[in-house]
Amino acid sequence: MGGTWRKLLGSPGARAWLVVALWAGLVWALGGDGFSASHTSRFLRPLLEWLFDDWTRRELNTALFWIRKAAHAVEYGLLTALITRASLIGAPRRVLRAVTLSLVCAIALAAADELRQGRSSRRTGTVRDVALDSAGAIGGVALLLTGRALWQRTRATRGTHEAMDAGGTPGG
C-alpha cells in the first residue's frame, strides 16, 4: 500500500492537484477572522508608514484598502491558474473543460468564503468581493492561457528553425 501512495503522489498530476488543494486551503484560511483588516493592518500600516512617511492617514487607509482588494484578485487568479494547469496535465487538449472547472471552483470558493465572512463579527462578506475574486479568477486563466500559447508558439517556431538549420523543410 505504501508503494502505491508513493507512486500516486509521484505523478505530475497528483502533485499539481496537491498544490491546488494547498493553495485553496490557504485562500480559505486568509478569508478567516485572523486575516481581517484590523489584524493585517497591524503589520501593513507600519510598513507603509515606513515606506511612505509623508502620507496622510487617509492615504494610508486608501492604500491598505487597495492592497487588500488586490490580494483578492491575486489569490483567485493563482487558484484558477493552478486548477487549469492541473486539469490540463491529464487532458492537454481539453482547455474549455479545464477553464470551466477552474472558474466554477474558484467562484464557488469565493461565494462560500464571502458567506462565511458575512456571518463573522470581524469581517464583511460582499457580493462585490465575489465579483472581484471572479475577475481575478478570469485574469488568472487568461494569463495562464496566454503564457501557454506563447510557450507553444515558441516551441513550434524553434522546431521549424531547427528543421531548417538541419537542411529540412518546415514541418517535415
In sequence order, what DSSP letters do the residues of 10-56 get, joined into one string? TSHHHHHHHHHHHHHHHHHHHTSGGGSHHHHHHHHHHHHHHHTTT--
Cα–Cα distance between 64 and 48 in angstroms, integer?
8
* Inter-residue contact 118 to 55 (CB < 8 Å): no
What DSSP state is assigned to residue 166?
Answer: T
pLDDT at 91: 84
Q: pTM value?
A: 0.77
Q: Is 63 exposed, middle or buried (0-12, 13-18, 19+ CB in 10 A)?
A: middle
pLDDT category at 2 given cuts 50, 70, 90 is low
Is the confidence at residue 162, as pLDDT, over 70? Answer: no
Task: Tell me what the mean pLDDT of segment 47-71 comes to.
Answer: 91
pLDDT at 118: 84
Residue 2 in any domain: the answer is no
pLDDT, one tens digit per residue, over 85-110 is: 999 998 888 999 999 999 999 999 99
pLDDT at 122: 79
pLDDT, one tens digit per residue, over 118-128 is: 888 777 878 99
What DSSP state is assigned to residue 119?
Answer: T
Cell (9 digits) for 38: 484590523
Cα–Cα distance between 15 and 132 in angstroms, integer?
28
Q: Determine the length of the chain.
A: 172
Helical residues (DSSP H) of 91-126, grouped into ranges: 95-118
Residue 116 in any domain: the answer is yes
* Inter-residue contact 76 to 134 (CB < 8 Å): yes
Is the confidence at residue 171, as pLDDT, over 60? Answer: no
Is the confidence at residue 144, as pLDDT, over 70? Answer: yes
Residue 3 in any domain: the answer is no
Range of the domain at 19: 12-165
Number of domains in the chain: 1
Residue 171 in any domain: the answer is no
pLDDT, one tens digit per residue, over 4-41 is: 666 667 788 889 999 999 999 999 988 877 766 666 77
